Amino acid sequence: MTDAYVIAPSPAVPRARVNTGASLWVSSLVVAGRMVRKFARTPQLIVFTTVQSALFLLMFRFAFGGAIGTGGSLSYVNFLVPGFIASSILWSGMGAATGVAEDVEHGFVDRLRSLPIPRAAVLVGRSLADAALLVWALAVAAVLGFAVGFRVTGSIGDALAAFGLCLVFGFAFEWVFIVIGLVSGTARAAQSMGLLVTPLVFLSSAYVPVKSMPAGVRQFSEIQPLTPMVNAVRGLATGARGQALLDHGTSYYVGLSLAWAAAIFVVFGLLAVLRFGRR
Amino acid sequence: MQPPILEARGLMKRYGKTQALAGLDLVVSPGRVVALLGPNGAGKTTFVRAVATLLRPDAGTLYVDGIDALRKPAKVRQVVGLAGQFAAVEEAMTGRENLQMVGRLFGLGNKEARAAAVRVLDQMRLTADADRLVRTYSGGMRRRIDLGISLVGTPRLLLLDEPTAGLDPGSRIQLWDVIRSLVLAGTDILLTTQYLDEADRLASDIVIIDHGQVIAAGTPAELKSRAGDDMIEVHVRDAGHLAVVSGLLAEIGHDPRVDLPQRRAYVAVNDGSSRLMDALRALDGHGIAVEDVSLRRPTLDEVFLALTGKQAQA
């Protein structure tokens, strides 16, 4: 082994103070604050996502809706809107995947990781901000839903519970998209990978009754997580008429979807932490 | 006695088939500005990322300001600042907000973070643009705010990974000025660069890295006296003449070298223009037909060659 090159000292070096770094809570809030500000100050992002989901809703409500029977006494608009709101968690999650990948790509994540803060703060802050943006996205989706003629036909309490469920699902799915963002490396790749969730939305009970699907597709729809989530939200928001379309009671779907959400959160949360901690 | 600001011994890091660090040894005392110079893929960035605790070496020891970077990476993060190849700043926030945000992350209170932002804006000469969104900044201003962010916490060791890569000449000179003012203020700096002139202007010491190892180190003056000579390059018409030409050039300068497929011979000389005349006379005297003869500054590859006696591989 060769000797190391030793670079000689200069006299009288002033020493800087040591930075202790912020606590997990403070640093998570600071990281989250940055993201919320970024969102609020990028009007094209807000307008674009709102217009996109409005167009989507209008097409199903007015162009395709007439051809889709609900198989019961529930009107299509009341069938559609709960599915639309529940599936909007996936659209908003795609934005999160792109955002995470962008931060990795442009060195922002490295910058945060080089600071004296708990590394968990980067992920916790991210998910806090995503939760806030999710509330916004769900509220926008709900307002659009009411605008195209949706009316709550169950109890108001149940409808609020349905909204709360969407938040829980959204929060769980957020971690799927954080993992996609971390592994994809570039924003462009994250966007493409994010689009892989599209089949989950369309091969579910969100826009059309599962019973109308051919056998193989129907089986997939029935076992994938979004269908019980949509069924739970629809059952709560539309009361008896919505429940009449379901094979089981609403509470069955609430329980099943919460189990899914917990599983997704645990598995993908762990994957995100492992991937993030790697160095 | 203060511990070395940086002490790396036998650092190894492998990515798949690439040996990014192959037993890198380097000790830097406090109070220095060190430039890591080397071609793309030499291991510069890998080394800086190891010092910033963004990656963990496979083997070797690494101490930053006396702290074991492998065992206590969190402590190392308290004393280093990193500004990377990308301007990692939030574009939807103003320069001031970016600095305050990082100040808060460094553990400063609101008031302290505000004061730190004012100080850094002044250091970076960005006070006039402090309250504009970063997305309206020029490339050079982004690099300065990025550099500023790494200074909010007043680090003991500032890591700059190719701080001026991709900048236009004007912005590069501005950034050099800013970095030099930090140097005068006594900040220890480890910077990487592919540019000899950048290392020359900023650093007290230059460390040349290739294939994941330190291959030479010294002050710019030392390295120049070893490698800074002009080069005479002769491009012959007939490759058969190369041996003769090489012999002639050996009498004129030192370290002659032949590139057979390119039909070129080179020699390092310390009095360029008069040696060029000697070379032309000698070639003419032997009736050697040439395509081209030129006198130029050595390239980075030739610095490697002169310092190490081996060809730098691409």
Kindly report, residue by residue over A47-67, the tens digit of the pLDDT: 888 888 888 888 888 888 777
Instruction: Give, in degrees to the nearest 5, the angle at Cα A168 between A164 and A171.
Output: 135
With CA atoms as reference, the chain B residue closest to A17 would be B154
Q: What's residue B189's pLDDT? A: 92
Kindly report, residue by residue over B115-158, the tens digit of the pLDDT: 999 999 988 889 999 999 999 999 889 988 998 898 888 888 99
Instruction: Give, in degrees to the nearest 5, the angle at Cα B41 between B40 and B47.
Output: 110
Closest residue by Cα to residue A129 from A30, A23, A276: A30
Kindly report, residue by residue over A174-202, the tens digit of the pLDDT: 999 999 999 988 888 988 888 888 888 88
* Total-model pTM: 0.79
Helix, strand, coil share (%) of chain B residues, nearest 5: 40, 30, 35
- Which residues of B, range 134-153, sit inside 8 Å of A by Cβ? 149, 153
- A261 has pLDDT over 50: yes
Contact B55, B11 (CB under 8 A): no
Q: What's residue B309's pLDDT? A: 57
Residue B29 at interface with chain A, using a CB cutoff of 8 Å: yes
Kindly report, residue by residue over B86-109, the tens digit of the pLDDT: 778 899 999 999 999 999 998 888
Question: A31: which chain B residues are within 8 Å (Cβ-Cβ)?
Answer: 105
Q: What's residue B314's pLDDT? A: 38
Q: Is A187 left (phi over 0), alpha (psi -120 to 50) or beta?
A: alpha
Question: A2: which chain B residues are within 8 Å (Cβ-Cβ)?
Answer: 25
**A42 contacts B186? CB cut-off 8 A:** no
Structure tokens at A65: 């809706």
Angle between helices B272-285 and B242-252 (to 10 degrees): 140
Contact B158, B64 (CB under 8 A): no
For the complex shown, is ipTM > 0.90? no
Question: A41: which chain B residues are within 8 Å (Cβ-Cβ)?
Answer: 92-93, 133
Q: What's residue B301's pLDDT? A: 61
CA distance from start to end of chain B: 41
CB neighbour list of residue B154: distance below 8 Å, 6 or more residues apart: A16, A17, A19
**A10 contacts B29? CB cut-off 8 A:** yes
Q: What's residue A11's pLDDT? A: 43
Question: B32: which chain A residues are within 8 Å (Cβ-Cβ)?
Answer: 7-10
Contact B33, B158 (CB under 8 A): no
Mean pLDDT of B28-46: 87
Judged by DSSP in three states, B179 sits in: helix
Structure tokens at A230: 């949509």
Kindly report, residue by residue over A226-258, the tens digit of the pLDDT: 999 999 999 888 887 778 788 888 889 999 999
CA distance B298 to chain A (A): 24
Match 């000797």 to its residue by tokens. A3
Using CB atoms, pick whichever of A9, A19, A114 lies closest to residue B107.
A19
- A25 has pLDDT over 70: yes
Q: Is A150 left (phi over 0), alpha (psi -120 to 50) or beta?
A: beta
Q: What's residue B227's pLDDT? A: 62
Judged by DSSP in three states, B251 sits in: helix
Residue B133 DSSP label = B
Question: B80: which chain A residues are within 8 Å (Cβ-Cβ)?
Answer: 114
Closest residue by Cα to residue B113 from B281, B229, B105, B237: B105
User: How far, in Å, are A64, A149, A242, B19 from residue A81 at the CA level?
Assistant: 14, 9, 12, 56
**A111 contacts B149? CB cut-off 8 A:** yes
Percent of chain B with pLDDT over 70: 93
Kindly report, residue by residue over A90-148, the tens digit of the pLDDT: 888 888 899 899 998 888 888 888 888 988 899 999 989 988 989 998 999 999 999 98
| H or E element at residue B21 | strand B18-28
With CA atoms as reference, the chain B residue closest to A276 would be B54
Residue A45 at interface with chain B, using a CB cutoff of 8 Å: no
Residue A25 at interface with chain B, using a CB cutoff of 8 Å: no
